[in-house]
Amino acid sequence: MSVAEERIDRLTELARDAARAGEADLARQYVRRARRIAERNRIALPRRFKRFTCDRCDAYLVPGRNARVRTRDGHVVVTCGCGGHARYPYRRPDSDDAV
């Protein structure tokens, strides 16, 4: 794991903890910092990061608190409190690609 990847990992944890503690703005700062590191280093953001952050407002999403998670026609639809949503296809649990 590269230094950049480790920093992104750490920022993801910080963002999650901040979001759970109700510090939404602080969580956003961590999310933005992690995105910037990924861009600069041209590395992909981990799936965990992409699934739990809003592309529209950079919020760290906590289902039940600032995000709604629903399944629909083979997709998971995550709706952020800002109104932005993201859809992810899901597969059977025995698939390698299952989340």
Residues annotated in the binding site for Zn(2+), as ranges? Answer: 54, 57, 80, 82
* Spatial contact of 56 and 92, defined as CB atoms under 8 Å apart: no
3-state secondary structure of 8: helix
Report the run of H or E that residue 10 belongs to, with start and end.
helix 3-20
User: Per CB under 5 A, does 82 bind Zn ion?
Assistant: yes
Told to check if 56 binds Zn ion by CB under 5 A, we report yes
14 binds Zn ion (CB under 5 A): no
Decide if residue 19 touches Zn ion (CB under 5 A).
no
42: left (phi over 0), alpha (psi -120 to 50) or beta: left
- Is 84 among the residues that bind Zn ion (CB under 5 A)? yes
Choice between 7 and 81, CB closer to Zn ion: 81
Select from 8-16, 31-39, 47-55, 88-96 the region that touches Zn ion (CB under 5 A).
Answer: 47-55
- The reply on whether position 24 binds Zn ion by CB under 5 A is no
Q: Which residues contact 45 (CB under 8 A, 6 or more apart)?
A: 8, 34, 35, 38
Q: Which residues form the interface with Zn ion (CB under 5 A)?
A: 54, 56-57, 59, 80, 82, 84
